[in-house]
Amino acid sequence: MMRELFSKTVDAEKRVERHWLRWVALAGFWTFIALLYGNQTYFFMRAEGMHHEWWRIIFWQILVWNTWTALTPLILWAGRRFPIDRARWRRGVLMHLPIFAVVSSINIAVFTVLYITIRPFDVYQNVTTPFLHQYYEKMLSRFPLDFLIYSAMLGLGYAFDYYEKYRERESRATQLETQLAQAQLETLKMQLHPHFLFNTLHAISSLVRDEKNKVAVNMIAGLSGLLRHSLENIGKQEVSLREELEFLELYLDIQQMRFSDRLKIEMNVEPETLDAAVPNLILQPLVENAIRHGIAPRITGGRIELSTRNENGILEIRVTDDGEGLHHEWRLANSGGIGLSNTKARLEQLYGAEHRFHVRNRSGGGVEACLAFPFRQANAHG
Reported for 346-351, long-range contacts at CB under 8 A and 24+ positions apart, including other chains, are 346/176, 346/179, 346/180, 346/183, 346/279, 346/282, 347/279, 347/282, 347/371, 347/373, 349/172, 349/175, 349/176, 349/179, 350/176, 350/237, 350/238, 350/279
Q: Is residue 216 domain-resident?
A: no
Burial class (CB in 10 A: 0-12, 13-18, 19+), 113: middle
What residues does 358 pair with on adjacent strands? 370
Give me the pLDDT at residue 8, please.
Answer: 52
DSSP string covering 216-272: HHHHHHHHHHHHHHHHHTTT-SEEEHHHHHHHHHHHHHHHHHHHGGGEEEEEEE-GG
Give me the pLDDT at residue 192, please.
Answer: 41
Burial class (CB in 10 A: 0-12, 13-18, 19+), 59: middle
Show the beta-strand stretches assigned E in 47-197.
none
Residues 292 and 159 in one domain: no
Q: Is residue 212 domain-resident?
A: no
Residues 281 and 166 in one domain: no
Q: Is residue 251 domain-resident?
A: no
- Residue 330 sits at φ, ψ, to 5 deg, of -70, 135
Residues 160 and 269 in one domain: no
Q: Is residue 228 domain-resident?
A: no
- Residue 90 sits at φ, ψ, to 5 deg, of -65, -50
Burial class (CB in 10 A: 0-12, 13-18, 19+), 284: buried
250/247 Cα distance (integer angstroms)? 5
Give me the pLDDT at residue 241, please.
Answer: 95
Give me the pLDDT at residue 235, please.
Answer: 62
Residues 27 and 163 in one domain: yes
Q: Mark which of 155, 170, 185 sits at the end of a domain.
A: 170
345/2 Cα distance (integer angstroms)? 24
Q: Is residue 222 domain-resident?
A: no
291/263 Cα distance (integer angstroms)? 8
Residues 153 and 274 in one domain: no
Domain that includes residue 289, residue range: 261-382
pLDDT tens track for 276-316: 999 888 898 899 889 888 888 888 889 999 999 999 999 99
Q: Which residues of the chain have pLDDT under 50?
A: 1-4, 6, 188-189, 191-193, 380-382
- Classify the C-alpha dihedral 234-239-242-245 as positive or negative: positive
pLDDT tens track for 61-120: 899 898 988 888 888 888 888 888 777 778 888 888 899 899 989 989 988 888 888 888
For residues 70-93, one letter each, b for 16 or more C-beta atoms within 10 angstroms of the residue's C-beta and e for the rest, the string is ebbeebbebbeebbbeeeeeeebe
Please tell me the total count of domains within the chain.
Answer: 2
Alpha carbon of residue 293 to chain centroid: 33
Q: Is residue 246 domain-resident?
A: no
CATH number at residue 297: 3.30.565.10
Q: Is residue 226 domain-resident?
A: no
Q: Mark which of 134, 149, 170 sits at the end of a domain.
A: 170
pTM of the entire predicted model: 0.51
Q: Is residue 6 domain-resident?
A: no
Residues 38 and 139 in one domain: yes
Q: Mark which of 170, 187, 222 sits at the end of a domain.
A: 170
